[in-house]
Amino acid sequence: MVYCVNDGAVMDAWAKDQGCDQEAGLVKLFGDPSGALTRALGLSLEDPGPMAKLGYPRTKRSALYIEDGTIKIFKVSERGPNGEDDPAGDDYPEETLAPSMIAALKELNLKSEL
């Protein structure tokens, strides 16, 4: 599931552009136009740097692994490897990319086996 603080029409257009089958595909794109989910997760991007360009609150770059309604892994990209400020996660997205999530899933599975 991919979601952004956009409306459903924007997300459908993005899905089409990216070749995601919104009906039968594995990846689904959703809009959070009011920002309700974003706020509930504590992921509102309100830093003055990105806000000067975006103009209204957006979602921090994040990745979650949810199992049976429980968040098991919650990662946010907002800092670089040496503590650099990156509130939008654009310069240093690694924390929320697939290799980081796969490593976290492996660690989670190892802990559950103990």
Q: Which residue has the tokens 């689904």?
A: 28
Q: What is the mean pLDDT of the chain?
A: 90
Contacts 24+ apart (CB under 8 A), 39-48: 43/76, 45/87, 45/88, 47/87, 47/88
Number of folded domains in the chain? 1
17 within a domain of the structure (yes/no): no
Q: Which CA distances in Å does 46 have to 50, 51, 96? A: 8, 6, 19
- Token pair of 30, please? 């959703």
Residues 13-28 pLDDT 10s? 999 999 999 999 899 9
Residues 63-98 pLDDT 10s? 999 999 999 999 999 999 999 999 989 999 999 999
pLDDT of 52 = 78
54 within a domain of the structure (yes/no): yes
pLDDT of 112 = 72
44 within a domain of the structure (yes/no): yes
70 within a domain of the structure (yes/no): yes
Q: What is the model's pTM?
A: 0.82
pLDDT of 50 = 81
Residue 39: in which H helix or E strand, if any? helix 36-40
39 within a domain of the structure (yes/no): yes
Q: Is the pLDDT of residue 54 over 80?
A: no
φ, ψ at 20 (rounded to 5°)? -90, 125
